[in-house]
Structure 1
Amino acid sequence: MVTGSVLLAHDDGDFRDRAAAVLASAGFAVTAVSGSMAALELIEAEPAGAFDVLVTRMQFGVRSPNGLSLALMARQRDPHLRVVFTSTPENAGFADAGAVVVSPIDMGELLRQVGLAARASKASRESEPQVPPPARQPPDRSGAEG
């Protein structure tokens, strides 16, 4: 049973592989990419709602958008998307846009935070009012021509 869809954007290949395996074994559909640029390309290519949770590093290299910028751009495209950051302790206070798991990363805590984020994303989507289609206008039977 799939419990949610996760976009995992992290430039540490060992962490990315371990986290993807842990999340997949818990029932998440995981798409893993190597950084923020690859994540942005994927977010733009997929329809809004394709992912429930973005897991990203707070800081990337100098030439890439940082995780906070990535999160803001992704949430502009899909306001229901939830974000879980991985961060060093000194950067953890800057992540107002999502949950933070501080390194060294405890995979159990990462799994817990992703689970909470996925539930919040789904609840947000379900609570959004559905806009009904426009009402059909009855035919004009007054005899007036227009």
Structure 2
Amino acid sequence: MTNGKNKGNKWERDVANLFSEHYKNTYKIENSFRRNPDSGSFVGGSNSKRVQTHTNLNFGDILTPDDFQYVIECKSYKEAPSFKSLLTSNKQLDSWFSQASQDADLANKKPIVIVKYNRTPPVVWLNEKPDSYLIEYNGWYCNTLCNFLKD
């Protein structure tokens, strides 16, 4: 049995490394994206009041360059949601989107949620409509991570 926390931490490191490699010519620094040791927990949820008393806070699961426009929330799960839940209601996605939106609002950036399910290519959820996407759910647009990085 896989430890869920370790799996999530590994996915966050993988995303940070992928983004660092992808944006290395943009930021001209090695490892410009890093896993957030707090993974958003320091200011997430009920801890959001800490924004008023602490400076130089990091939001989301990935530490990003200051001018990167997104706060990144990473999720790694065994199974993808059912198609039916994408047509009606999916509490798990709603929770992730709420968490990402809260952190992005506090950071004055845009939220993205990057999800990896077992045996499935990773996907990115954005709350702004891109030129191409796979599916829309409650104002969030899903695309493959590969396609997101091409745009």
TM exceeds 0.5?
no
Higher relative contact order (CA 8 A, sep 6+): 1
Between structure 1 and structure 2, the one with the greater Rg is 1
Superposition TM-score tier, normalisation by shorter sequence: 0.3 to 0.5
